[in-house]
Amino acid sequence: MVEDSLRDEIVAAIPKLRAFAISLTGNADRADDLVQDAIVRAWGSIDRFERGTNLNAWLFTILRNLVHSEYRKRKREVEDADGSMPLALEHTRISIAVSTSRTSEQP
């Protein structure tokens, strides 16, 4: 169980996290999403936080890592300008399903 004081410190850090996220993204809505994701990750890993160390630094590191991960992920994405990718993926999924059912029918 998380101590009330630790929870209060996390809540108190939210405005600073939000300002940092806005400075990194330039978008208030995206910043709010990132702060929420950072808080959820921090809460899920709270048992790894060492009491007596800098909670704000830990939270800011989680937030920064989320921004970097998102950037790397978006860099690898390919734009689907004509919208044909979902149709191609569906066709591939159907082809795999048909070939799988055919092989399972063979003795």
Tokens of 55: 């909670």
Look at residue 35 in the predicted model and tell me its pLDDT: 96
Domain boundaries, position 52: 4-82
Q: How far apart are CA 55 and CA 42, in angstroms?
A: 10
pTM above 0.75, yes or no: no
Q: Is 31 exposed, middle or buried (0-12, 13-18, 19+ CB in 10 A)?
A: buried
Examine the pLDDT at 44 and tell me if it is beyond 70: yes
Tell whether 55 is covered by a domain: yes
pLDDT for position 103 = 61
| C-alpha pair distances (Å), 25 with each of 11, 35, 39 | 21, 12, 17
Q: What is the CATH number of the domain that holds 60?
A: 1.10.1740.10
Average pLDDT over the chain, rounded to an integer? 84
Residues 62, 38 contacting (CB under 8 angstroms) = yes
69, part of any domain: yes
How far is the first Cα of the chain from the last one, in angstroms, to the nearest whole number?
56
- Domain presence at residue 105: no
Which sign, positive or negative, has the C-alpha torsion 82, 68, 51, 32?
A: negative
Tally the domains of the chain.
1
User: Does 89 reside within a domain?
Assistant: no
What confidence tier does 102 reach under pLDDT thresholds 50, 70, 90? low
Cα angle for residues 83, 86, 89 (degrees, 5° grid): 140
**Residue with the larger pLDDT of the pair 80 and 44:** 44
Answer whether residue 101 is part of any domain.
Answer: no
* Helix (H/G/I), strand (E/B), else coil: 26: coil
The answer to whether residue 106 is domain-embedded is no
